[in-house]
Amino acid sequence: MRGDGRRRRSRDGRRYAFTSYMLRAYYRRPDLWEDIGRAVEAVKEDLYFQVIPAFYRDHMAAADIGIAYHCDERTVNRHKRRLCLEIYRHWESGT
């Protein structure tokens, strides 16, 4: 099936955009977003978790995060996307 990969990427893109929006709102007013807070707590043990608060709470650029954590910008973006999708999965399942 040819279009399956495109559909999956599109679906993940929408989930990533939605989660990015939710994380920006969560870090502005965490008291209003308990459900996303639980999802964030579920991925806190990840090695690259600090990318999420650095980007969404501290408003650091990916290049600056890479310098701070001794990795390259592509690595930062890849793990940010991966963690956002993981947070979405936890939020969607209610854990």
Nearest-angstrom CA–CA distance, 73 and 64? 8
Two tokens at 19? 């989660």
Residue 89 binned pLDDT confidence (cut-offs 50, 70, 90) = very high
Sequence spans of domains, the chain: 4-93
Is the pLDDT at 14 greater than 70? The verdict is: yes
Q: Which of 8, 45, 53, 49 lies closest to 28 in space, CA to CA?
A: 53
Mean pLDDT, the chain, as a whole number? Answer: 89
Number of Cα atoms under 13 Å in the Cβ half of residue 46: 19
Residue 8: what pLDDT? 58
What does the pLDDT look like over 24-36, one tens digit per residue? Answer: 999 998 888 888 9
Residue 4: what pLDDT? 57
Residue 7: what pLDDT? 56
Residue 1: what pLDDT? 47
What does the pLDDT look like over 43-74, one tens digit per residue? Answer: 999 999 999 999 999 999 999 999 999 999 99
Two tokens at 23? 């994380």
Let me know how long the chain is. 95
